Amino acid sequence: MINFKLNGKDTSVDVADDMPVLWVIRDVLGMTGTKFGCGVGLCGACTIHVDGEPLRSCIAQAADIAGANITTIEAIGETPSGQAVQEAWLHLEVVQCGYCQSGQIMSAAALIAAVPEPSDTDIDEGMSGNICRCGTYVRVREAIKEAAKSAAAKRAE
Amino acid sequence: MTKLLETRLSKLSRRAFLKAGAAAGGGFMIGWVPHAAKAGGDAVFAPDAFIRLDSTGKVAVVMPVIEMGQGTYTSLPMVIAEEMDLDMGNVTFEHSPAGNAYGNPMLGGVQITGGSNSIRGFYMPFRQAGATARRMLMTAAAQELGVEEGTLTTEPGFVVHVRSGRKTPYGELAQAASALSVPAGVALKDPSTFRIIGNSVKRLDTAKKVNGAAKFGIDVQIPGMKVAVVAASPVFGGTLTSVDEASALQVAGVRQIAKLGNAVAVIADHYWAARQGLDAAAPEFDDGPHASVSTADIVAALAKASEKQGAVAKSEGDAASVLAASSRKAEATYEQPFLAHATMEPINCTVHVKPDSCDIWVGTQVQGRAQAIAAEALGMQPEQVTIHNHLLGGGFGRRLEVDFIQQAALIARQSPDPVKVVWSREEDIQHDMYRPYYYDRISAALGEDDMPAAWTHRIVGSSIVARYFPDFMKDGVDPDAVDGAAENVYGIKNFFVDYVREEPPGIPTAFWRGVGPTRNIFVIESFLDELAALAGKDPIAYRRALLAGNSRALGVIDKAAEMSDWGTPLGPHRGRGVSFQHVFGTFMAQVAEVTVSERGEVHVDRVLAAVDCGLPINPDTIEAQLQSGIIFGITAVLHGEITLQDGRVEQSNFHDYEILRIDKSPKIEVAVIQSSEAPGGIGEPGTSGIIPAVANAVFAATGVRGRKLPFKAEDLRSR
Ligand code: FES
Ligand code: FES
């Protein structure tokens, strides 16, 4: 049994230690918001947060998250940075097919939580692990800046 | 799909449309089946295959085309809402099932999402559907209120009695309206009174895409479902010879091994078990007849084929003689590689085969073909197969193909449970159906005025149309292969284009974003730049001179020139390039600015695009589609290449089939020209236009003319 907190809830799964966390989430727990894109850490579609840090769940093993606090796209809206990112994403109509967007949003939320006023270089560094085949990058960049501003404004309130 | 067929088909379908109220003959149905369509959910008023009004006033639009990112699930409902007079907040969508009622009039009435045809195919039918529904609600209100219909008008969601100001909500009229027969020939709105079309409207599909709730095909969960992972023969046309079933079955969670002629699938409780089971199964294959195929041999065969006369696509004047007599001419060959689609959502399909029926959950651009291929694979009638379509995690032409649906049906047939077949990314890249390798031979002679006096262009490559739409081949010419090349947009007097079909042995080829124009516009617009250079002319001035009198063309070129500050200096290692095109019913000019490092690495810094796609429906979506198409095209110029050695695709995942990432992504500015012309396509022209714009910019920066995609740093290094 591997125990961890998933979106605030105590969760235990009976899986092999080396099972990738992605498949624990998608196929064992049935939460499909976290996406499979490459399986080898190259695309970012599977990004989740482990204790607030972004992690590519396709190359993390179940045993690695024992005792950890996991957040997925389904609950990222409950964090201030996640909420700001989702709002900016909708406001600027970032999304196209949407398949990569769970991962984009998870990476973006982690970025603005860590770097409250991200520069273009910060955005390049924080987001270049996330591929978007629909090419939404122009709007991803704008939306991160907008989200960072609105998150900062909320903190100031 | 291509302009030639479009013209042919749209004539037929326009005629068909005039017969609204009856299915047109000859197999062309345009989605107008009065009372025949069954209402979904608690829809009360369903006057046709598309509109479902319920008693609360909400309208679900049953979408004949599928959403794959292009925004069609918003722009087409906008068209109905405009004519029916709805508040967009009350509009939702449903995926359509397989059915002739959902065929695209632009595509011979076949149910296809592709070729940038959704708005073009359904703009008029949806206006008509919306206007007709509105009229029926007004008729119903007139009866209920006992007044003349002429005393009524509408406001969004309400029929209004003008004099008294009394408003009746649409929802309350739904029942009465559904008892009416469907009137024909209802007048459409005057476009100058549009209040929705032409304004940026928030997309209807995105809210669930930011919180993980949206369901793509790969997200399907059916009670009792198992997951299968597949390995097909690494060489196309190979066959499965052995599988270590015992070892595979020892992996915890593995339930079953399903063998096909050319592949093996391991069926398990979840993807990970299936994947490990597949490793343990260690399948072996007989490579078959294509074991020695290589890119080098394929290119050699194409080059040889390019020496042959092709099927003539266009011949005006006498290009050959003018060329022979000229002393100022240019000649070149251009090459473009095989490409994979690499949709972000890997290929997948979920199938449940029961004794006398089958359910399929999938994301497809072709519901009808999906149904047909599964029925054939299972020995069923198409009606026994139900397609449950899903949002597509990218299409780009990959999901116009049904190879994987056939495969999933053949696997699931061996299992009592529903089976979700998921391809690994490696399988997805190595068993795609590829954008074919094309080899073009092009030449031109300049006249005394420095303008091209003669032009010959031979296009050599695989024909997708011959396989996919065989009826559309015309005297050996594949209309898609020459789309964008045969129209003589620059009005050259002596003009000749021919096509040589040359199939790569064993390699499946397929449509890819931008179809024919994506290949042809690169060649034409690059070569035109070569001619401008030969003539010593500025590339924009050269195009302007050739397009004199074509106001829509000049409109986009001038706009792009202005946006880019064309003519101002850029500094060392930098260059600007332009492209112009009129494809997919849309005029577009793009200017790309690039920096080429001393090591030969190209960075696209900025792209300025001016587009005239006729009447803009949802301007924000037009901008988004251009941004998207441009980045898709830059990936193709800088990275995209599938190669073969020993019959095997050499690339396997995003480390060797690279996709442009945000840190290499340009700034993009888009200007949408106001127009009231018929709406043009927008999903693909961004891709076809950017490739030559970048190629021409690289030439401006380095003096090196890239005639072979993708560009390689070693060819562009400073000497
Ligand atoms: S699926 Fe994890 S990085 Fe691509
Ligand atoms: S929105 Fe389609 S892959 Fe990013």
User: Mind listing the pLDDT tens digit for each residue in B479-502?
Assistant: 999 999 999 999 999 999 999 999
* Residues B230 and B404 sit within 8 Å (Cβ to Cβ): no
Which of A30, A128, A133 shows the shortest C-beta gap to B344? A133
Phi-psi region of B96 (alpha: psi -120 to 50; beta: other; left: phi over 0): beta
Q: Which atom, in ligand 2's list, is nearest to the CA of A98?
A: 1
Does residue B710 have a cis bond before it (omega within 30 degrees)?
yes
Q: Which atom, in ligand 1's list, is nearest to the CA of A44?
A: 3
B210/A72 touch (CB, cutoff 8 Å), yes or no: no
Phi-psi region of A101 (alpha: psi -120 to 50; beta: other; left: phi over 0): alpha
A37/B270 touch (CB, cutoff 8 Å), yes or no: no
Closest by Cα among B108, B100, B103 to B8: B108
* Residues B129 and B50 sit within 8 Å (Cβ to Cβ): yes
What does the radius of gyration of chain B's CA atoms come to, in whole angstroms?
27
What is the β-pairing status of strands B644-645 and B648-649?
antiparallel
pLDDT value of residue B43:
63
Structural domain A76-156, CATH architecture: Orthogonal Bundle (1.10)
Chain B residues with CB under 8 Å of A120 CB are none
Indicate the top mutation candidate among A36, A92, A101 to test ligand 2's pocket, ranked by most ligand atoms within 8 A of CB: A101
pLDDT value of residue A15:
96
Smallest CA–CA separation between A67 and chain B, in Å? Answer: 22
* Residues B461 and B502 sit within 8 Å (Cβ to Cβ): yes
Q: Which residues sit opposite B474 in a β-bridge?
A: B477
Q: Where in chain A is the domain with CATH 3.10.20.30?
A: 2-71
Closest by Cα among B395, B392, B342, B364 to B205: B392
Smallest CA–CA separation between B547 and chain A, in Å? Answer: 31
DSSP code, position A28: I
Smallest CA–CA separation between A78 and chain B, in Å? Answer: 11
Q: Using a pLDDT cut of 90, give the percent of chain B over it.
A: 89
Count of CB atoms within 10 A of residue B159's CB?
Answer: 27
CA–CA dist A31, A39 (Å, integer): 17
Q: Which atom, in ligand 1's list, is nearest to the CA of A131?
A: 4
pLDDT value of residue B24:
27
Measure the CA angle with vertex B651, ends B285 and B66; round to 5°: 95
Q: Residue B489 — φ and ψ, nearest 5°?
A: -65, -25
Indicate the SS3 state at residue B633: helix
Q: Which residue in B209, B255, B630 has the most chain A C-beta atoms within 10 A of its own C-beta, making it the best mutation to test that interface?
A: B209
Specify the CATH class of B296-338+434-716 in words: alpha beta
Largest CA distance in chain B: 86
Residue range B3-194, CATH number: 3.30.365.10
Q: Which residues, judged by CB distance below 6 Å to any ligand atom, belong to the binding site of ligand 2?
A: A 95-101, 132-134, 136; B 69, 344, 394
Answer whether CATH 3.40.50.300 is correct for domain B217-288+347-422: no
A96/B392 touch (CB, cutoff 8 Å), yes or no: no
Q: Which residue in A35, A89, A134 has the most chain B C-beta atoms within 10 A of its own C-beta, making it the best mutation to test that interface?
A: A134
Can you give the pTM of this predicted structure? 0.93
Measure the CA angle with vertex B683, ends B156 and B106; round to 5°: 75
Average confidence score pLDDT of chain A: 97
Chain B residues with CB under 8 Å of A98 CB are 69, 205-206, 209, 214, 216, 391, 393
For the stretch A69-80, pLDDT in tens is 999 999 999 999
* Residues B309 and B429 sit within 8 Å (Cβ to Cβ): no
Q: Which residue has the higher pLDDT, A145 or B34?
A: A145
Q: Name the B residues in 311-350 with CB < 8 Å from any A CB.
A: 342-346
Q: Where in chain A is the domain with CATH 1.10.150.120?
A: 76-156
The domain spans of chain B are 3-194, 217-288+347-422, 296-338+434-716
CATH topology of domain A2-71: Ubiquitin-like (UB roll) (3.10.20)
pLDDT value of residue B719:
59
Count of CB atoms within 10 A of residue B383's CB?
Answer: 10
CA–CA dist A34, A13 (Å, integer): 17
Does the beta carbon of B662 lie under 8 angstroms from any beta carbon of chain A?
yes
- Structure tokens, B232: 């097909």
pLDDT value of residue B100:
86
CA–CA dist A62, A147 (Å, integer): 32
Low-confidence ranges of chain B (pLDDT < 70): 1-43, 719
Which of B68, B227, B660 shows the shortest C-beta gap to A97? B68
A43/B209 touch (CB, cutoff 8 Å), yes or no: no
User: CA dist B115 to B14, B339, B389, B512, Å?
Assistant: 18, 17, 19, 9
Q: Which atom, in ligand 1's list, is nearest to the CA of A38?
A: 4
Chain A residues with CB under 8 Å of B392 CB are 97
A93/B342 touch (CB, cutoff 8 Å), yes or no: no
Provide the residue type at B451 as one letter.
Answer: M
Q: Tell me which ligand sits closest to the C-alpha of residue B655.
A: 1
CA–CA dist A34, A46 (Å, integer): 5
